[in-house]
Amino acid sequence: MILNRIFFGIFGCMASGLALASASIGDFATELMTPTEIVGNSIAYGALILGIMAVVASVLRYVEYRRNPFTTTLSSVFMLFIVGLILCVLPIFHLMNEAKIFNIY
């Protein structure tokens, strides 16, 4: 909750500063693209890092399951692996959208 307020406070101050420096709404939107690209890229790469960590954790959990099946369940291994794959695929879609492969806009 506090981090949300800090983030939105910093982002709001930055946006208001850009709004004062720009002459029109179009200039404001153009100047706001760089901070949003930075936030989008950091979220994409964070998802990739978390996805790799989840896949590695699922492999370690599977090794633990093979040693003693009573310590962990096989469903947790599969769920970690599926979540890791989803988190690894999301940045690929983000990069494809940046390269305008889908031609969405």
Residue 34, in any domain of the structure: yes
Count of domains in the chain?
Answer: 1
82 found inside a domain: yes
Provide the percentage of residues in the chain whose pLDDT is more than 70. Answer: 70
Strand, coil or helix: 2:
helix
Residue 26: pLDDT over 60: yes
pLDDT (0 to 100) of residue 79: 96
Determine, yes or no, domain membership for 105: no
pTM higher than 0.85 for the full model?
no
**79 located within any domain:** yes
Is 12 within a domain? Answer: yes
* pLDDT per residue as tens digits for the range 55-90: 999 999 999 999 999 988 999 999 999 999 999 998
Asked if residue 94 belongs to a domain, the reply is yes
Q: What rounded mean pLDDT belongs to the chain? A: 80
Looking at the domain assignment, is residue 103 inside a domain?
Answer: no
pLDDT in the model for residue 54: 96
Inside any domain, residue 17: yes
- Residue 81: domain span: 2-98
